[in-house]
Amino acid sequence: MKTIDEVQQEIVDEFGVFDDWLDKYSFIIEEGNALKPLDDKYKTPENLIEGCQSRVWLQTTYRDGRLYFQADSDAVIVKGLLALVLRVFNGRTPDEIINADLHFMEEIGLTKHLSPTRANGLLAVIKQIRFYAIAYKAKEESTQSAS
């Protein structure tokens, strides 16, 4: 499995092919279209991310010491952004997620081209992913110390 930094560099390289933001947005939309739709049973208030302008759901599974995420949104650009973030974080250990330096968004210029509300929503998703990582790490440590 590639490291978080390797996946981020891959994303940066993919965006480097495009000269303008119209093409980059088209690529983001394609990434979102390729994201497996979230089953309706996971589109619950508990999985809804607060702070997003559009509706965003994030479902988490913890298996064999790693976190797996599924996400969906009712907005096509947001769904594409989710796909990029999930590429970086899916299948990682809690420590990898907690300690990750997420820099690809800055490197591809995404932070400059998102509306403030969309940027805040994306940060809310990342914050929630990190929160899950911290929670599962704490749960794992308490289970280990109890045995």
Q: Per the structure block, which two tokens stand in for 103? A: 């820099």
Question: In the structure encoding, which two tokens stand for residue 90, read together?
Answer: 């899916």
Please tell me whether residue 68 adopts helix, strand or coil conformation: strand
Mind telling me the catalytic residues?
Answer: 52
Q: How far apart are CA 104 and CA 124, in angstroms?
A: 17
* Burial class of residue 93 (count of CB atoms within 10 Å of its CB; 0-12, 13-18, 19+): middle
Among 28, 142, 8, residue whose Cα is nearest residue 78: 28
